[in-house]
Amino acid sequence: MKLLLDTSDVHAIKRIAKMFPIWGITTNPAIVAAGGVQLFDLLPAIRDALGGEGTLFAQVISSSVEGMIEDAHKLNERVENLVVKVPVTPKGLQVIKELTKQGIPTLATSVYGAAQGLLGVLAGAKYVSPYVSRIDAQGGDGAQTVSELQCLLSTHAPDKELVAASFKSPRQALECMLIGCKGITLPVNIFDLFISDPAVAVAVDQFVENWGKAFHTDCL
């Protein structure tokens, strides 16, 4: 399974990269805007934070077909190992189809429905991101949409990859993992919540205390 972080927080990426092999980093215009660092300054800093490795994902900004293609070219020319995120809209599909013809890898984003996601990959995108928490917030079932999309991919586009996105709670992410999601991008706070149960620290402290009492040392 590929685990990515959905963030522009370079310090958090550096911190987590020390303890975990992060496969890649996703951003979108809102995530970049929240960090306040321009994309072409941010992306090299993220790559450094990952120790020079990892796949980066950045989204087109323009709303016209020509503008999105131009954005994609800028990203592709300036940053190595980068996948261009394109929303699955009528214009976005045109962009995905054209970029695929040009050999530029894309991720179909802003996906709220399984069939919409399938169209994104059939147009040429290598990756597709259903928006789990946003689907839930609409009264839908994000995990169910992920499961349906996964089923469509395995039947119709087995070489394409799902990267589930848009999480607001650890439970939403866990549900995607349970249904066998092969790729998932987590906000930093959710990654941290998976490993911050206070009971764990209590258990670990207890081990050290028991050892110390018996052998008068805190190491082997």
Binding positions for ligand E4P, rule: CB under 6 A: 6, 26, 28, 30, 109, 129, 131, 133-134, 165-166, 185
What's CA 157's distance to the chain center, in Å? 20
Nearer to ligand E4P, 137 or 200 (CB): 137
Q: Give the nearest distance from C-beta 166 to ligand E4P in angstroms.
A: 3
Nearer to ligand E4P, 6 or 175 (CB): 6
The C-alpha atoms of residue 57 and residue 50 are separated, in whole angstroms, by 14
Q: Give the nearest distance from C-beta 219 to ligand E4P in angstroms.
A: 42
Q: Give the nearest distance from C-beta 15 to ligand E4P in angstroms.
A: 20
The beta strands (E) that lie in 64-174 are given as 82-87, 106-111, 127-130, 161-162
Nearer to ligand E4P, 99 or 135 (CB): 135
Q: 28, 109 in Cβ contact below 8 A?
A: yes
SS3 67: helix
Q: Give the nearest distance from C-beta 83 to ligand E4P in angstroms.
A: 10
Q: Which of 2, 74, 85, 160 is catalytic?
A: 85
Residue type, 117: G
Of 198, 197, 126, 137, the residue nearest 167 (C-alpha): 137
Q: Judge whether 85 counts as a catalytic residue.
A: yes
Nearer to ligand E4P, 83 or 153 (CB): 83
Residue type, 41: D
- Catalytic residue numbers, as ranges: 85
